[in-house]
């Protein structure tokens, strides 16, 4: 992590730590807490980086860092960055970059694949409202936890997209990858279907839930989730390969009157591309 940060400072010396949009936090016992930190980051590509030589171009993207803090030290972090937006702003080809990272990257491609059940993908979480990957939750906000769990179960896993109005306000605003924004039930349904249609056999598992009610933004819920599926549907990411894919995602929900009014949803599409390319390489080598 230190090595990667040093390289990033060299590539984007004016990037800094980004602009904090929100922090959703919750205790985990007497000496620990979870901080789900959403930021907008920007920088100028003036140095060499994983993506190649300097382009001199500016980029803007969103990041969510879901961190477990024990005794005032971060002991585990689940990080999702909108790397597609970065590459797009730098004028680089996401497919080429993902192909280059599919093998050597320690966190993309083969490392993300469904055969790797270590780290963030280890085991199965039965009920994240009670105990997720960050540990046991305090017994509070049971109704709100049931709301988001029910939404992922019915709308995502059961494909009951007609149930979206049950969980979401009619003016739902969703901000997601590539800095896309939708507003209203119908555009939200279409955007979600577009995401899931590439992996028609998918199953989503809620891995962690954090709830915070505060005067600044009202009641918010951070959800760490994992989509497991096969790239066998709509060819959003190039020719179909039937490659098993893990998609790690984080959603920040803002609630109003018992429904979700806003969602900030992030996945790393470059990680998806890298896994698909790793599958292509495996097929070619067979």
Provide the CATH number for the domain around residue 37: 3.10.450.50
Euclidean distance between CA atoms 124 and 277, whole angstroms:
26
For the chain, what is the radius of gyration of the CA atoms?
Answer: 19
How confident is the model over 189-213, as pLDDT tens digits?
A: 999 999 999 999 999 999 999 999 9
Does 82 score more than 70 pLDDT? yes
How confident is the model over 170-187, as pLDDT tens digits?
A: 999 999 999 999 999 999
**Which pLDDT value is given to residue 246?**
94
Domain count, the chain: 1
Q: Show the domain range for 137.
A: 1-286
**Which pLDDT value is given to residue 208?**
97
Euclidean distance between CA atoms 208 and 253, whole angstroms:
13
First vs last Cα of the chain: how many Å apart?
A: 34
Does 115 score more than 70 pLDDT? no
Average pLDDT over residues 63-77: 96
Strand 259-267 with 244-256, pairing: antiparallel
Chain Cα centroid distance, residue 3: 23
pTM as predicted? 0.93
**Which pLDDT value is given to residue 9?**
86
Instruction: State the chain's mean pLDDT as an integer.
Output: 92
Residue 124: φ, ψ to 5°? -130, 140
How confident is the model over 150-167, as pLDDT tens digits?
A: 999 999 999 999 999 999
User: Token pair for residue 192?
Assistant: 């979600």
Q: How many CA atoms lie within 13 A of 258 on its CB side?
A: 3
**Which pLDDT value is given to residue 123?**
85
């Amino acid at each position: 992590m230190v090595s990667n940060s040093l390289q990033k400072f060299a590539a984007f010396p004016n990037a800094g730590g980004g602009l904090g949009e929100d922090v959703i936090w919750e205790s985990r016992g007497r000496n620990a807490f979870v901080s789900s930190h959403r930021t907008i980051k920007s920088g100028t590509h003036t140095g060499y980086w994983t993506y190649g030589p300097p382009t001199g171009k500016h980029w803007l993207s969103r990041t969510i860092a879901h961190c477990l803090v024990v005794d005032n030290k971060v002991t585990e972090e689940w990080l999702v960055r909108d790397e597609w937006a970065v590459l797009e702003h730098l004028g680089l080809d996401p497919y080429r970059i993902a192909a280059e990272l599919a093998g050597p990257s320690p966190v993309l491609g083969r490392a993300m694949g469904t055969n790797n059940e270590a780290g963030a993908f280890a085991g199965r979480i039965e009920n994240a409202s009670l105990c997720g990957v960050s540990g046991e939750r305090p017994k509070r906000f049971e109704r709100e936890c049931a709301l988001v769990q029910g939404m992922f179960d019915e709308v995502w896993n059961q494909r009951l997209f007609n149930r979206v109005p049950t969980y979401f306000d009619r003016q739902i605003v969703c901000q997601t990858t590539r800095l896309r924004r939708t507003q209203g039930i119908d555009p939200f349904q279409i955007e979600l279907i577009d995401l899931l249609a590439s992996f028609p056999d998918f199953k989503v598992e809620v891995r962690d839930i954090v709830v915070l009610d505060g005067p600044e933004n009202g009641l918010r819920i951070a959800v760490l989730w994992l989509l497991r599926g096969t790239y066998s549907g709509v060819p959003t990411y190039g020719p179909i390969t039937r490659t098993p894919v893990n998609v790690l995602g984080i959603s920040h929900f803002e609630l109003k009157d018992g429904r979700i009014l806003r969602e900030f949803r992030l996945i790393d599409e470059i990680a998806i591309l890298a896994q698909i390319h790793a599958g292509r390489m495996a097929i070619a080598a067979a």
